[in-house]
Chains A and B, each alone.
Chain A
Amino acid sequence: MKSLSPALWTEILKMRRSKVPLFTAIGFSIAPLMGGLFMIILKDPEAAKSMGLISAKAQLMVGVADWPTFFNILSQAVAVGGAILFAIVTIWVFGREFSDRTAKELLALPTSREAIVTAKFIVIGVWTFLLSLFIFGLGLIVGALVDIPGWSIALLRSASVDVLGSAVLVIALLPFVAFIASMGRGYLPPFGWTILTVALAQIAIITGWGDWFPWSVSALFSGAVGPRAEILGLHSYGIVFLASVLALAATFYWWRNADQTK
């Protein structure tokens, strides 16, 4: 795909000039910062008592102040918060072309539509993965500043798998958001889709079908309801992969064949 390079250049320029990367980074930073706050509260029970409801909530939610708990907060934040924030990135990359009515400028060009869609997916993939790395890195800094006990290199390795694995499972399903943003020609339909899938993922987990529902797999992988080896099987990863391929194919097909009237 020789025209990929200019398409990629233009997508990166749009991203660089936008404030959306900054906003998503700031929004996502809340997770490690809140996690750090919980750790401070849990480390000092007297202070926790004096803080009343917040400390009670912290005790209820996270249990003890140690690195495994802190990493668990981070991986769950990526699995659940990422589902929303990464979707916002995707909605912006695809949906803005219709909201700004610039989609029509991308259709009758020597640069193929496939190259343009591929470039968009590459930007989304790299951007969201970098966001995940940023959260993980920020989490390490916050954890070190708070001086959380229980650190080990082995724990760092397993936490990396938890956080970044959760991120990859969320990113794999973003093509659905891209497809809905393209087909819906704007921002609202993919937002609706994102809220729907987050809600359905919770229901699937509660009813015990989470391992078969693609949008639940990342939360289960993050350890939200226990060790993932006991819940997830190959079929869970397979279904995420299949869903991802299906949505990618649907998005490419739509850009190639749908009537572009906006």
Chain B
Amino acid sequence: MSNFAIETNGLTKRFGDVLAVDHVDLRVGVGEIYGFLGLNGAGKTTTIRALLGMIRPSEGNVKVLGQPVGPNGRGPWAQVGHLVENPSAYPELTVRENLDMARRLQGIQNPKVVDEAMAALSIASYADRKAGTLSSGNFQRLGLARAMLHSPELLILDEPANGLDPAGVVEIRELIKSLAQEKGVTIFMSSHILTEVDRIATRIGIIHKGKLIEEWDTEKREQLRTKRLEIRARNLEGAFISMQSAGFKPVIKDETILIEHVHAIDFPDDIVRILVNAGAPPIHLAVVQENLEDYFLKLTNGPSLQAQVTKQSPTQVEIASSPKNDSSQ
């Protein structure tokens, strides 16, 4: 078997004139948790459907667990679980019946897997409830239970945390982590909850306008994060001028001075000294990291931090319009 659980070569999908996926080369290693990020319409779901043989690539090919997918939708599906877009179930059937149906279609003889899946997803108490009467969170859990029912080697999950309450999000995150860490299940998940992906994924791929534009492993993500020094002072103007005079090119956002200069981040004690000498001692000083969301938005040409600062007030427009310090990060 190939070392990759998922492998695509030049995967391309056109719908008429629309290029939904553009020569995507994915390599997802066995046991990885791969986060697949993209804006709405970026091509995430189309890629996932191609991985599952639900659509035929216009160009390129797909291999899942070392086996080619298609033609005619064929693939190693007994080893693959999936949740595509919103979960679905037959509303007139109970939770148990929906899962039992999935069990039979998966070719599993042991009916106990249904109880195990319901227990794992905390829906055992809804076993005899009709799926159509479930809350959206429990409906999502039912979809996940169906995906995990047959203990697959690979789980392909499209927005798995959709509709879940905060406790449910944590629970599913831990479940996914344990599947990968304890059972070696490979997870390929798309999500718009970027912080969630950041917490769980061993590698993240960014898809934008159908192209896989970047991939980050954990180490690279750490390197890419912009660290910033946050300063708050009662004499905000004095603090700002002193930082400018020291060559740190500060910006102000929400009554907070932000500095991205490496020296300021590595030696905040120097900054404190400068501020105290300037008569603007800090009341708050912290090194913070830019979150993945900001990076993602920058990469996909979404609203940047500077643009957000620009919206604050006319004074801040003037401050924010100064060019960014090239030496920072």
Contact = CB atoms under 8 A, between A and B. Distances in A.
B77 A110 contact: yes
B55 A109 contact: no
B107 interface: yes
A10 interface: yes
B52 interface: yes
B88 A102 contact: yes
Contacts of A110: 77-78, 105-107
Nearest to A257: B72
Interface string A225-244: 00000000000000000000
A69 interface: no
A256 B72 contact: yes
B101 A261 contact: no
B92 interface: yes
A131 interface: no
Interface residues of B, number: 32
Interface string A1-23: 00100110110011001110000
Interface string B47-84: 00100111110000000000000011101011010101
Contacts of A100: 88-91
A107 interface: yes
A46 interface: no
A7 to B, nearest CB: 7
B75 A108 contact: yes
Nearest to B76: A110
Contact of A113 (B73, B82, B85, B92): B73
A109 B146 contact: no
Contacts of B82: 108
B233 interface: no
B53 A107 contact: yes
A181 B237 CA distance: 68
**Size class of the A contact interface (CB-based, 8 Å):** 20 to 34
A103 B295 CA distance: 36
Given A10-B104, A17-B93, A109 B88 contact: no
A261 B49 contact: yes
B55 A261 contact: yes
A9 B90 CA distance: 14
Given A101-B88, A102-B89, A108-B80, A113 B101 contact: no
Given A109-B106, A111-B105, A111-B107, A102 B90 contact: yes
A57 B52 CA distance: 59
A45 B258 CA distance: 99
A13 B54 contact: no
A108 B53 contact: yes
A19 B91 CA distance: 12
26 contacts: A3-B107, A6-B105, A6-B107, A13-B97, A17-B93, A100-B89, A100-B91, A101-B88, A104-B49, A104-B88, A105-B88, A106-B105, A107-B52, A107-B54, A108-B54, A108-B73, A108-B80, A109-B77, A109-B105, A110-B107, A111-B105, A111-B106, A111-B107, A257-B71, A257-B72, A260-B49
Interface of B: 15, 49, 52-56, 71-73, 75, 77-78, 80, 82, 84-86, 88-93, 97, 101-102, 104-107, 146
Interface of A: 3, 6-7, 9-10, 13-14, 17-19, 100-102, 104-111, 113, 256-257, 259-261
Given A111-B105, A257-B72, 16 more contacts: A6-B107, A9-B104, A13-B101, A14-B90, A102-B89, A104-B84, A104-B85, A105-B102, A106-B105, A107-B53, A107-B73, A108-B73, A109-B105, A259-B55, A261-B54, A261-B55
